[in-house]
Amino acid sequence: MNNSADFTPKDDDVFGRIANRYDILCDLFSLGIHRFWKRRVACIIGNAPWQNLLDVASGTGDIVYRILQQRQFSSATDNLHHIIVSDISVQMLDKAKEKMTNYSANTSFMPLDAENMIQIESASQDVVSISLGLKICDRHKALQEAYRVLKAEGRLVVLEASNIPINWIHKLYLGYMSVVMPLIGWLATGGDSSAYQYLLKGVKDFPSAEALAQEMKDIGFGEVNFERLSFGIVAIHMARKL
């Protein structure tokens, strides 16, 4: 299994339990910096040509919300774009729906397992995005599914934890996260820090940006490239189904 967090959603509904607090916890852990990462992802997707976008492991819908805020997609009369917001947790999806009530015209919300999206037709999507979700899925299966549902020439956009290229700074960062993540998670959830134990393990064991790029190539993606953000704490990988 290529699941760096060892998370099995069928056994433990941790994300459902923290759905109400997820947004505030993101701000706490990243000191608000996740907003900048997600804005960048939304900008990359917003500037690409597409009609059908599938966002996988959407959580409370931050990525799509930012895309919809861009003027060209915000009109209720926009029939050109169709967006699917999806997550394995229905509680997370409910929060996403709340956030996007003004944009529901061209957006659907679907409970989907990133590893097996049987409800999505093969070769039906122009863009598939997954933000901060790949580390808690079986990434090989999730990437294969993304490949399957993309049209030829379709694009994959992945925001995920990565490696700071200077090794000792990376180790220092992981040490800091090992203390802060479970502690804030425990305090903010009233003693249920399990989601943050999974996420921490996912961050620690996730492959380097170069290794993830190679995994994408091995699945069949082409034009694979990535940009590091915040010194490499995260990276955005972009690839095309050739």
Q: Which residues bind ligand SAM (CB under 6 A)?
A: 9, 15, 26, 57-59, 62-63, 87-89, 92, 113-115, 131-133, 136-137
Closest-by-Cβ residue to ligand SAM is 59
Shortest Å distance, C-beta 168 to ligand SAM: 27
> What does DSSP assign to residue 191?
S
Using the minimum distance from each CB to ligand SAM, give the nearer residue, 154 or 185: 185
- b/e 153-168 (16+ beta carbons within 10 angstroms → b): ebbbbbbbbbbbeeee
Using the minimum distance from each CB to ligand SAM, give the nearer residue, 140 or 223: 140
Tell me the pairing of strands 221-229 and 82-87.
Answer: unpaired
11: helix, coil or strand?
coil
- Give Cα 125 to chain centroid, integer Å: 17
- Is residue 64 a contact partner of residue 93, using CB atoms and an 8 Å limit? no
Using the minimum distance from each CB to ligand SAM, give the nearer residue, 53 or 132: 132
Give one DSSP letter per residue of 43-77, joined into a string: HHHHTS--SEEEEES-TTTHHHHHHHHSGGG--TT
Shortest Å distance, C-beta 79 to ligand SAM: 26
Shortest Å distance, C-beta 134 to ligand SAM: 9
Shortest Å distance, C-beta 167 to ligand SAM: 25
Using the minimum distance from each CB to ligand SAM, give the nearer residue, 174 or 223: 174
Shortest Å distance, C-beta 154 to ligand SAM: 19
